[in-house]
Structure 1
Amino acid sequence: MSADPRADLEDAGRLWLRGALEVGELSILDAQTRTDGPGARIDPSPAILSVIGRAGSLTRRLARLLPGLRPVRALTFAKSGDTNWGVPWHQDRLVAVRERIDQPGFTHWTRKDSWWHCEPPANLLARMVFVRLHLDDAGPESGCLELALGTHRLGPLPAEETQAAADRAPQEVADARRGDVLVVKMLTVHRSRRASKPAPRRVLRVDYAPDDAPGSLSWALD
Protein backbone atom coordinates (compact mmCIF):
# COMPACT_ATOMS: atom_id res chain seq x y z
CA MET A 1 0.00 0.00 0.00
CA SER A 2 1.25 3.49 -0.85
CA ALA A 3 1.32 6.42 1.54
CA ASP A 4 -2.01 7.51 0.04
CA PRO A 5 -4.54 4.65 0.20
CA ARG A 6 -6.87 6.55 -2.11
CA ALA A 7 -4.18 6.40 -4.80
CA ASP A 8 -4.15 2.60 -4.48
CA LEU A 9 -7.93 2.55 -4.85
CA GLU A 10 -7.84 4.73 -7.96
CA ASP A 11 -5.01 2.72 -9.54
CA ALA A 12 -5.90 -0.92 -8.81
CA GLY A 13 -9.63 -0.42 -8.27
CA ARG A 14 -9.55 -1.97 -4.83
CA LEU A 15 -8.25 -1.30 -1.33
CA TRP A 16 -7.91 -3.77 1.54
CA LEU A 17 -8.60 -2.73 5.13
CA ARG A 18 -7.50 -5.81 7.05
CA GLY A 19 -9.19 -6.42 10.40
CA ALA A 20 -11.15 -3.17 10.11
CA LEU A 21 -14.36 -4.46 11.70
CA GLU A 22 -14.44 -4.27 15.48
CA VAL A 23 -15.73 -7.11 17.68
CA GLY A 24 -18.92 -5.25 18.60
CA GLU A 25 -19.64 -4.42 14.97
CA LEU A 26 -19.20 -8.05 13.95
CA SER A 27 -21.64 -9.15 16.66
CA ILE A 28 -24.27 -6.72 15.38
CA LEU A 29 -23.79 -7.76 11.76
CA ASP A 30 -23.87 -11.47 12.66
CA ALA A 31 -27.29 -11.03 14.25
CA GLN A 32 -28.70 -8.95 11.41
CA THR A 33 -27.39 -10.73 8.31
CA ARG A 34 -29.31 -13.32 6.32
CA THR A 35 -27.62 -16.60 5.45
CA ASP A 36 -29.79 -18.01 2.65
CA GLY A 37 -28.17 -17.15 -0.67
CA PRO A 38 -26.89 -14.47 -3.05
CA GLY A 39 -27.89 -10.84 -3.19
CA ALA A 40 -30.46 -10.67 -0.40
CA ARG A 41 -31.42 -7.08 0.40
CA ILE A 42 -31.07 -6.01 4.04
CA ASP A 43 -33.84 -4.16 5.81
CA PRO A 44 -32.09 -1.22 7.53
CA SER A 45 -32.80 -1.89 11.20
CA PRO A 46 -31.51 0.61 13.79
CA ALA A 47 -28.90 -1.96 14.88
CA ILE A 48 -27.39 -2.45 11.45
CA LEU A 49 -27.57 1.27 10.66
CA SER A 50 -25.47 1.90 13.76
CA VAL A 51 -22.63 0.25 11.82
CA ILE A 52 -23.27 0.84 8.10
CA GLY A 53 -25.76 3.73 8.06
CA ARG A 54 -24.95 7.27 7.05
CA ALA A 55 -23.85 8.08 10.62
CA GLY A 56 -22.73 4.53 11.45
CA SER A 57 -19.47 3.66 13.16
CA LEU A 58 -17.88 2.06 10.09
CA THR A 59 -19.11 4.81 7.76
CA ARG A 60 -17.44 7.43 9.93
CA ARG A 61 -14.13 5.56 9.80
CA LEU A 62 -14.35 5.27 6.01
CA ALA A 63 -15.13 8.96 5.51
CA ARG A 64 -11.49 9.96 4.94
CA LEU A 65 -11.07 7.29 2.27
CA LEU A 66 -14.42 7.96 0.59
CA PRO A 67 -14.95 11.73 0.77
CA GLY A 68 -18.29 12.87 -0.58
CA LEU A 69 -19.72 9.34 -0.66
CA ARG A 70 -22.40 7.74 1.50
CA PRO A 71 -23.99 4.27 1.84
CA VAL A 72 -26.93 3.78 -0.53
CA ARG A 73 -27.67 0.02 -0.58
CA ALA A 74 -26.85 -3.07 1.49
CA LEU A 75 -26.95 -6.73 0.40
CA THR A 76 -25.85 -10.04 1.87
CA PHE A 77 -24.09 -12.81 -0.03
CA ALA A 78 -23.97 -16.17 1.75
CA LYS A 79 -22.45 -19.38 0.42
CA SER A 80 -22.64 -22.73 2.17
CA GLY A 81 -23.19 -26.38 1.39
CA ASP A 82 -26.88 -25.61 0.83
CA THR A 83 -26.46 -22.37 -1.14
CA ASN A 84 -23.50 -22.76 -3.49
CA TRP A 85 -23.46 -20.54 -6.58
CA GLY A 86 -21.13 -18.67 -8.88
CA VAL A 87 -21.20 -15.74 -11.31
CA PRO A 88 -18.92 -15.12 -14.33
CA TRP A 89 -16.83 -12.02 -14.98
CA HIS A 90 -19.09 -8.96 -14.94
CA GLN A 91 -19.54 -5.36 -13.83
CA ASP A 92 -22.19 -4.21 -11.37
CA ARG A 93 -23.94 -1.19 -12.87
CA LEU A 94 -27.31 -0.90 -11.12
CA VAL A 95 -28.24 1.43 -8.29
CA ALA A 96 -31.28 1.16 -6.00
CA VAL A 97 -33.62 4.11 -5.54
CA ARG A 98 -36.89 4.66 -3.68
CA GLU A 99 -39.06 5.43 -6.70
CA ARG A 100 -38.84 5.61 -10.47
CA ILE A 101 -38.33 9.13 -11.77
CA ASP A 102 -37.29 9.11 -15.41
CA GLN A 103 -34.48 11.48 -16.29
CA PRO A 104 -31.73 11.65 -18.93
CA GLY A 105 -28.94 9.10 -18.61
CA PHE A 106 -30.80 6.68 -16.29
CA THR A 107 -31.74 3.47 -18.11
CA HIS A 108 -32.67 -0.21 -17.68
CA TRP A 109 -35.31 0.40 -15.03
CA THR A 110 -36.46 -2.70 -13.15
CA ARG A 111 -38.21 -3.38 -9.86
CA LYS A 112 -37.00 -6.05 -7.43
CA ASP A 113 -37.02 -6.54 -3.68
CA SER A 114 -39.58 -3.68 -3.46
CA TRP A 115 -37.03 -1.14 -4.80
CA TRP A 116 -36.53 0.43 -8.19
CA HIS A 117 -33.15 -0.24 -9.81
CA CYS A 118 -31.59 1.50 -12.79
CA GLU A 119 -28.27 2.02 -14.53
CA PRO A 120 -27.00 5.57 -13.96
CA PRO A 121 -24.68 7.54 -16.26
CA ALA A 122 -21.07 6.37 -16.53
CA ASN A 123 -19.72 9.44 -14.72
CA LEU A 124 -21.78 8.54 -11.64
CA LEU A 125 -20.75 4.87 -11.72
CA ALA A 126 -17.10 5.95 -11.95
CA ARG A 127 -17.43 7.71 -8.58
CA MET A 128 -19.14 4.80 -6.81
CA VAL A 129 -17.61 1.94 -4.81
CA PHE A 130 -18.89 -1.18 -3.13
CA VAL A 131 -17.56 -2.19 0.27
CA ARG A 132 -17.46 -5.86 1.28
CA LEU A 133 -17.56 -6.67 4.98
CA HIS A 134 -16.35 -10.23 5.62
CA LEU A 135 -18.25 -12.01 8.40
CA ASP A 136 -16.46 -15.32 7.74
CA ASP A 137 -13.10 -16.32 6.32
CA ALA A 138 -13.24 -16.44 2.50
CA GLY A 139 -10.73 -18.18 0.25
CA PRO A 140 -10.58 -19.88 -3.16
CA GLU A 141 -12.11 -23.12 -1.88
CA SER A 142 -15.13 -21.28 -0.46
CA GLY A 143 -15.74 -19.33 -3.68
CA CYS A 144 -14.37 -15.93 -2.70
CA LEU A 145 -14.44 -12.86 -4.94
CA GLU A 146 -11.92 -12.52 -7.78
CA LEU A 147 -10.97 -9.11 -9.21
CA ALA A 148 -9.57 -7.98 -12.56
CA LEU A 149 -7.43 -5.13 -11.29
CA GLY A 150 -7.59 -1.77 -13.04
CA THR A 151 -10.58 -2.64 -15.22
CA HIS A 152 -12.65 0.11 -13.63
CA ARG A 153 -10.73 2.54 -15.83
CA LEU A 154 -12.29 0.96 -18.95
CA GLY A 155 -15.70 2.40 -18.11
CA PRO A 156 -18.95 0.48 -18.68
CA LEU A 157 -18.35 -2.56 -20.89
CA PRO A 158 -20.74 -4.66 -22.99
CA ALA A 159 -21.33 -7.95 -21.16
CA GLU A 160 -19.65 -9.92 -23.95
CA GLU A 161 -16.39 -7.96 -23.45
CA THR A 162 -15.90 -8.51 -19.72
CA GLN A 163 -14.19 -11.90 -20.11
CA ALA A 164 -11.60 -10.46 -22.50
CA ALA A 165 -11.05 -7.46 -20.23
CA ALA A 166 -10.42 -9.79 -17.29
CA ASP A 167 -8.03 -11.93 -19.34
CA ARG A 168 -5.90 -8.87 -20.13
CA ALA A 169 -5.77 -7.58 -16.54
CA PRO A 170 -3.86 -8.71 -13.45
CA GLN A 171 -6.23 -10.92 -11.47
CA GLU A 172 -6.46 -11.08 -7.70
CA VAL A 173 -8.17 -13.69 -5.54
CA ALA A 174 -9.77 -11.77 -2.68
CA ASP A 175 -8.62 -14.06 0.12
CA ALA A 176 -10.10 -12.57 3.30
CA ARG A 177 -10.45 -13.22 7.01
CA ARG A 178 -13.38 -12.48 9.26
CA GLY A 179 -13.37 -8.75 10.00
CA ASP A 180 -11.58 -7.72 6.79
CA VAL A 181 -13.08 -4.93 4.68
CA LEU A 182 -12.54 -4.66 0.92
CA VAL A 183 -13.33 -1.42 -0.94
CA VAL A 184 -13.84 -1.87 -4.72
CA LYS A 185 -14.49 0.65 -7.49
CA MET A 186 -17.96 -0.06 -8.83
CA LEU A 187 -16.91 -0.65 -12.45
CA THR A 188 -14.20 -3.20 -11.58
CA VAL A 189 -14.76 -6.46 -13.47
CA HIS A 190 -15.14 -9.31 -10.97
CA ARG A 191 -16.46 -12.83 -10.55
CA SER A 192 -17.13 -15.49 -7.92
CA ARG A 193 -16.76 -19.22 -8.55
CA ARG A 194 -18.79 -21.96 -6.93
CA ALA A 195 -17.16 -23.22 -3.75
CA SER A 196 -15.13 -26.40 -4.25
CA LYS A 197 -15.28 -27.13 -0.51
CA PRO A 198 -18.44 -25.38 0.68
CA ALA A 199 -18.21 -23.71 4.06
CA PRO A 200 -20.10 -20.75 5.53
CA ARG A 201 -18.99 -17.62 3.66
CA ARG A 202 -21.05 -14.59 4.61
CA VAL A 203 -20.35 -11.16 3.16
CA LEU A 204 -22.25 -7.94 3.67
CA ARG A 205 -21.93 -5.60 0.71
CA VAL A 206 -22.61 -1.88 1.04
CA ASP A 207 -22.73 0.34 -2.05
CA TYR A 208 -21.46 3.92 -1.69
CA ALA A 209 -22.47 6.77 -4.01
CA PRO A 210 -22.27 10.58 -4.05
CA ASP A 211 -24.03 12.24 -1.13
CA ASP A 212 -27.03 13.48 -3.08
CA ALA A 213 -28.84 11.39 -5.67
CA PRO A 214 -29.13 13.19 -9.02
CA GLY A 215 -32.27 15.14 -9.82
CA SER A 216 -35.30 14.13 -7.77
CA LEU A 217 -34.12 10.58 -7.08
CA SER A 218 -33.65 9.27 -3.53
CA TRP A 219 -31.22 6.49 -2.68
CA ALA A 220 -32.72 3.28 -1.28
CA LEU A 221 -30.67 3.49 1.91
CA ASP A 222 -31.55 7.06 2.85
Structure 2
Amino acid sequence: MPYLNEIDKEGFSIINNVFTENEIENIVSLIENKTANNQANTTFRKSEDLFAIRQFHKEVPETLDFIFNENLQNIIKSTFGEGFFIKKAIYFDKPEKSNWFVAYHQDLTISVDKKIEVNNFQNWTVKQNQFAVQPSAEILEDNFTIRIHIDKTTKDNGALKVINNSHSKGILRIENLDFKNNKETICEVDKGGIMIMKPLLFHASNKTTNNERRRVIHIEFSRQELPMGIEWSEKMEFSMS
Protein backbone atom coordinates (compact mmCIF):
# COMPACT_ATOMS: atom_id res chain seq x y z
CA MET A 1 0.00 0.00 0.00
CA PRO A 2 2.58 2.57 -1.12
CA TYR A 3 0.22 5.58 -1.14
CA LEU A 4 -2.15 4.74 1.72
CA ASN A 5 0.06 6.08 4.52
CA GLU A 6 0.41 9.43 2.77
CA ILE A 7 -3.33 9.63 2.08
CA ASP A 8 -4.15 8.74 5.69
CA LYS A 9 -1.66 11.30 7.03
CA GLU A 10 -2.03 14.20 4.59
CA GLY A 11 -5.41 13.54 2.99
CA PHE A 12 -4.03 13.31 -0.56
CA SER A 13 -1.33 11.88 -2.81
CA ILE A 14 0.00 12.91 -6.23
CA ILE A 15 1.08 10.17 -8.65
CA ASN A 16 2.51 11.10 -12.05
CA ASN A 17 2.90 8.96 -15.18
CA VAL A 18 -0.32 6.98 -14.66
CA PHE A 19 -1.48 7.55 -18.26
CA THR A 20 0.51 7.52 -21.49
CA GLU A 21 0.35 10.33 -24.03
CA ASN A 22 -1.62 8.02 -26.32
CA GLU A 23 -4.18 7.18 -23.62
CA ILE A 24 -4.70 10.88 -22.90
CA GLU A 25 -5.11 11.61 -26.60
CA ASN A 26 -7.75 8.88 -26.90
CA ILE A 27 -9.66 10.24 -23.90
CA VAL A 28 -9.55 13.79 -25.29
CA SER A 29 -10.71 12.63 -28.72
CA LEU A 30 -13.72 10.82 -27.24
CA ILE A 31 -14.66 13.86 -25.15
CA GLU A 32 -14.37 16.21 -28.12
CA ASN A 33 -16.49 13.95 -30.31
CA LYS A 34 -19.22 13.77 -27.67
CA THR A 35 -19.26 17.49 -26.89
CA ALA A 36 -19.38 18.46 -30.57
CA ASN A 37 -22.68 16.61 -30.96
CA ASN A 38 -24.36 17.30 -27.62
CA GLN A 39 -24.17 21.01 -26.94
CA ALA A 40 -27.80 21.13 -25.76
CA ASN A 41 -27.34 18.33 -23.22
CA THR A 42 -28.51 19.41 -19.74
CA THR A 43 -25.54 17.72 -18.04
CA PHE A 44 -23.17 19.96 -20.03
CA ARG A 45 -22.39 23.31 -18.44
CA LYS A 46 -20.66 25.99 -20.50
CA SER A 47 -19.57 29.53 -19.65
CA GLU A 48 -16.62 31.77 -20.46
CA ASP A 49 -14.80 30.49 -17.39
CA LEU A 50 -15.70 26.81 -17.31
CA PHE A 51 -16.98 23.89 -19.34
CA ALA A 52 -18.17 20.88 -17.38
CA ILE A 53 -19.79 17.52 -18.11
CA ARG A 54 -21.69 16.13 -15.14
CA GLN A 55 -22.30 12.37 -14.90
CA PHE A 56 -19.24 12.08 -17.12
CA HIS A 57 -19.02 8.29 -16.71
CA LYS A 58 -22.52 7.96 -18.17
CA GLU A 59 -22.26 10.69 -20.79
CA VAL A 60 -18.91 9.53 -22.22
CA PRO A 61 -18.66 5.86 -21.14
CA GLU A 62 -16.32 5.12 -24.05
CA THR A 63 -13.53 6.75 -22.04
CA LEU A 64 -13.72 4.25 -19.18
CA ASP A 65 -11.61 1.57 -20.91
CA PHE A 66 -8.79 4.11 -21.18
CA ILE A 67 -9.34 5.60 -17.71
CA PHE A 68 -9.26 2.26 -15.91
CA ASN A 69 -5.95 1.19 -17.39
CA GLU A 70 -3.67 -1.29 -15.66
CA ASN A 71 -1.85 1.46 -13.75
CA LEU A 72 -5.00 2.97 -12.25
CA GLN A 73 -6.49 -0.42 -11.41
CA ASN A 74 -3.31 -1.40 -9.56
CA ILE A 75 -3.27 1.89 -7.66
CA ILE A 76 -6.89 1.48 -6.55
CA LYS A 77 -6.51 -2.17 -5.57
CA SER A 78 -3.21 -1.75 -3.72
CA THR A 79 -4.33 1.40 -1.91
CA PHE A 80 -7.99 0.84 -1.08
CA GLY A 81 -8.83 -2.77 -1.95
CA GLU A 82 -11.84 -3.93 -3.94
CA GLY A 83 -15.60 -3.44 -3.83
CA PHE A 84 -15.63 0.22 -4.84
CA PHE A 85 -17.89 1.74 -7.49
CA ILE A 86 -18.10 5.13 -9.18
CA LYS A 87 -20.57 7.34 -7.33
CA LYS A 88 -19.98 10.56 -9.26
CA ALA A 89 -17.83 11.82 -12.13
CA ILE A 90 -17.35 15.30 -13.60
CA TYR A 91 -15.16 16.57 -16.42
CA PHE A 92 -13.84 20.11 -15.91
CA ASP A 93 -12.32 22.26 -18.63
CA LYS A 94 -10.91 25.53 -17.29
CA PRO A 95 -10.12 27.61 -20.42
CA GLU A 96 -6.90 29.57 -20.92
CA LYS A 97 -8.32 32.93 -19.80
CA SER A 98 -10.57 31.59 -17.06
CA ASN A 99 -11.34 33.73 -14.02
CA TRP A 100 -13.05 30.79 -12.32
CA PHE A 101 -11.90 30.16 -8.76
CA VAL A 102 -13.21 27.99 -5.93
CA ALA A 103 -12.92 28.92 -2.24
CA TYR A 104 -11.79 26.46 0.43
CA HIS A 105 -14.37 23.77 1.13
CA GLN A 106 -14.92 20.08 1.90
CA ASP A 107 -16.91 17.81 -0.46
CA LEU A 108 -19.86 17.11 1.83
CA THR A 109 -22.77 16.15 -0.42
CA ILE A 110 -23.67 13.01 -2.31
CA SER A 111 -26.19 12.50 -5.14
CA VAL A 112 -29.04 10.10 -4.36
CA ASP A 113 -32.22 8.88 -6.03
CA LYS A 114 -34.84 9.88 -3.45
CA LYS A 115 -35.42 11.95 -0.34
CA ILE A 116 -36.10 10.00 2.84
CA GLU A 117 -35.65 11.41 6.32
CA VAL A 118 -32.74 9.48 7.83
CA ASN A 119 -30.68 10.13 10.95
CA ASN A 120 -27.46 12.02 10.19
CA PHE A 121 -28.59 12.85 6.63
CA GLN A 122 -29.07 16.60 6.38
CA ASN A 123 -29.04 19.71 4.18
CA TRP A 124 -31.17 18.20 1.42
CA THR A 125 -31.16 20.06 -1.92
CA VAL A 126 -31.97 19.39 -5.57
CA LYS A 127 -29.17 19.88 -8.13
CA GLN A 128 -29.49 19.11 -11.84
CA ASN A 129 -32.74 17.25 -11.13
CA GLN A 130 -31.04 15.03 -8.56
CA PHE A 131 -31.39 14.94 -4.80
CA ALA A 132 -28.22 15.91 -2.96
CA VAL A 133 -27.65 15.41 0.75
CA GLN A 134 -24.90 15.56 3.36
CA PRO A 135 -24.59 12.04 4.79
CA SER A 136 -22.91 10.95 8.00
CA ALA A 137 -19.20 11.59 8.38
CA GLU A 138 -18.58 7.82 8.43
CA ILE A 139 -19.82 7.47 4.85
CA LEU A 140 -17.72 10.40 3.63
CA GLU A 141 -14.58 9.25 5.43
CA ASP A 142 -14.59 5.90 3.62
CA ASN A 143 -14.87 7.47 0.16
CA PHE A 144 -12.06 8.75 -2.04
CA THR A 145 -11.66 10.87 -5.17
CA ILE A 146 -9.27 10.50 -8.11
CA ARG A 147 -8.56 13.52 -10.31
CA ILE A 148 -7.07 12.64 -13.71
CA HIS A 149 -5.06 15.48 -15.24
CA ILE A 150 -5.46 15.93 -18.99
CA ASP A 151 -3.11 18.94 -18.92
CA LYS A 152 -0.11 19.84 -16.79
CA THR A 153 -1.51 21.66 -13.78
CA THR A 154 0.50 24.28 -11.93
CA LYS A 155 -0.04 27.11 -9.45
CA ASP A 156 -0.47 29.42 -12.45
CA ASN A 157 -3.40 27.63 -14.12
CA GLY A 158 -5.56 26.80 -11.15
CA ALA A 159 -3.98 23.76 -9.48
CA LEU A 160 -5.79 22.67 -6.34
CA LYS A 161 -4.43 23.96 -3.08
CA VAL A 162 -5.16 21.96 0.06
CA ILE A 163 -4.79 22.17 3.81
CA ASN A 164 -2.70 19.14 4.75
CA ASN A 165 -4.34 16.70 7.18
CA SER A 166 -7.55 18.75 7.36
CA HIS A 167 -9.52 15.60 6.45
CA SER A 168 -8.73 14.18 9.89
CA LYS A 169 -10.77 16.83 11.70
CA GLY A 170 -14.17 15.58 10.55
CA ILE A 171 -16.85 17.83 9.11
CA LEU A 172 -15.77 21.34 10.00
CA ARG A 173 -17.01 24.87 9.35
CA ILE A 174 -14.38 26.84 7.45
CA GLU A 175 -14.19 29.53 10.15
CA ASN A 176 -13.17 26.85 12.67
CA LEU A 177 -10.17 25.73 10.61
CA ASP A 178 -6.88 27.05 11.99
CA PHE A 179 -5.15 28.22 8.80
CA LYS A 180 -2.17 29.77 10.61
CA ASN A 181 -1.02 26.52 12.17
CA ASN A 182 -1.75 24.21 9.26
CA LYS A 183 0.33 23.56 6.14
CA GLU A 184 -1.02 24.56 2.74
CA THR A 185 0.16 22.67 -0.38
CA ILE A 186 -0.34 23.62 -4.02
CA CYS A 187 -0.91 20.32 -5.82
CA GLU A 188 0.90 20.57 -9.14
CA VAL A 189 0.37 17.49 -11.31
CA ASP A 190 1.90 16.51 -14.65
CA LYS A 191 -0.19 15.73 -17.70
CA GLY A 192 -1.24 12.09 -17.37
CA GLY A 193 -0.83 12.16 -13.60
CA ILE A 194 -3.47 11.82 -10.91
CA MET A 195 -4.28 13.25 -7.52
CA ILE A 196 -6.03 11.06 -4.96
CA MET A 197 -7.83 12.91 -2.18
CA LYS A 198 -10.26 12.35 0.66
CA PRO A 199 -13.55 14.28 0.45
CA LEU A 200 -13.12 15.92 3.87
CA LEU A 201 -9.79 17.47 2.84
CA PHE A 202 -10.19 21.25 2.59
CA HIS A 203 -9.35 22.26 -0.99
CA ALA A 204 -9.62 25.30 -3.25
CA SER A 205 -8.33 26.59 -6.58
CA ASN A 206 -7.24 30.01 -7.85
CA LYS A 207 -7.88 31.82 -11.11
CA THR A 208 -5.73 31.01 -14.13
CA THR A 209 -2.92 33.53 -14.63
CA ASN A 210 -0.71 32.01 -17.36
CA ASN A 211 -3.21 31.48 -20.22
CA GLU A 212 -2.82 27.70 -20.04
CA ARG A 213 -5.80 25.36 -20.19
CA ARG A 214 -6.59 22.97 -17.32
CA ARG A 215 -8.72 19.88 -17.95
CA VAL A 216 -9.46 17.38 -15.20
CA ILE A 217 -11.64 14.27 -14.87
CA HIS A 218 -12.90 14.13 -11.29
CA ILE A 219 -14.16 10.68 -10.20
CA GLU A 220 -15.56 9.89 -6.75
CA PHE A 221 -15.61 6.34 -5.38
CA SER A 222 -17.52 4.58 -2.60
CA ARG A 223 -18.29 1.07 -1.40
CA GLN A 224 -21.00 2.12 1.06
CA GLU A 225 -24.60 0.91 1.02
CA LEU A 226 -26.95 3.75 1.91
CA PRO A 227 -29.69 3.33 4.55
CA MET A 228 -33.47 3.05 4.21
CA GLY A 229 -33.47 2.06 0.54
CA ILE A 230 -31.74 5.24 -0.63
CA GLU A 231 -29.53 4.58 -3.67
CA TRP A 232 -26.60 6.43 -5.22
CA SER A 233 -28.13 8.18 -8.23
CA GLU A 234 -24.98 7.99 -10.39
CA LYS A 235 -23.69 4.59 -9.24
CA MET A 236 -21.74 2.62 -11.83
CA GLU A 237 -19.69 -0.51 -11.34
CA PHE A 238 -16.37 -0.68 -13.18
CA SER A 239 -14.37 -3.75 -14.13
CA MET A 240 -11.09 -4.61 -12.45
CA SER A 241 -9.04 -7.19 -14.30
TM-score (norm. length: structure 2): 0.79
- Separation in 1, partners of 2:51, 2:107: 14
How many residue pairs get aligned? The number is 215
For 1:52-67, list aligned pairs within 5 A: 56-57=68-69, 60-61=73-74, 62-67=76-81
**Counterpart pick for 1:26 among 24, 27, 49:** 24
2:131 counterpart SS class? strand
1:83 aligns with 2:98: yes
State the 1:105 CA deviation: 1.4
CA RMSD of aligned residues (A): 2.3
| Partner amino acid, structure 2, of 1:63 | K
For 1:173-184, list aligned pairs within 5 A: 173-184=186-197
Deviations 1:186-219 (Å, cap 9, x if unpaired)?
A: 1001110111223210111001112533442222
Distance 1:51 1:213, change over 3 A: farther
| Partner amino acid, structure 2, of 1:65 | T
- Separation in 2, partners of 1:50, 1:4: 24
* Residue in structure 1 matched with residue 154 of structure 2 by the alignment: 139
- Separation in 1, partners of 2:3, 2:16: 13
Deviations 1:8-29 (Å, cap 9, x if unpaired)?
A: 1101111122111234542343
Distance 1:39 1:94, change over 3 A: farther
* Residue in structure 1 matched with residue 39 of structure 2 by the alignment: none
- Separation in 2, partners of 1:176, 1:11: 19
| Partner amino acid, structure 2, of 1:176 | V
Identity %: 20
Distance 1:39 1:92, change over 3 A: farther
- Separation in 2, partners of 1:63, 1:142: 31
Q: Contact between 1:151 and 1:188, CA under 8 Å: does it hold in 2? A: yes
TM-score (norm. length: structure 1): 0.85
* Residue in structure 2 matched with residue 14 of structure 1 by the alignment: 12
State the 1:38 CA deviation: 6.1
1:71 aligns with 2:86: yes
Distance 1:179 1:215, change over 3 A: farther
State the 1:98 CA deviation: 2.9
For 1:199-210, list aligned pairs within 5 A: 199-210=212-223
- Separation in 1, partners of 2:51, 2:178: 24
* Residue in structure 2 matched with residue 124 of structure 1 by the alignment: 139
* Residue in structure 2 matched with residue 221 of structure 1 by the alignment: 235
Structure of greater Rg: 2
1:191 aligns with 2:213: no
Deviates more, 1:135-144 or 1:63-72: 63-72
Q: Contact between 2:55 and 2:90, CA under 8 Å: does it hold in 1? A: yes
| Partner amino acid, structure 1, of 2:118 | Q
State the 1:154 CA deviation: 0.5
| Partner amino acid, structure 1, of 2:170 | G
- Separation in 1, partners of 2:180, 2:93: 27
| Partner amino acid, structure 2, of 1:167 | K
1:156 aligns with 2:154: no
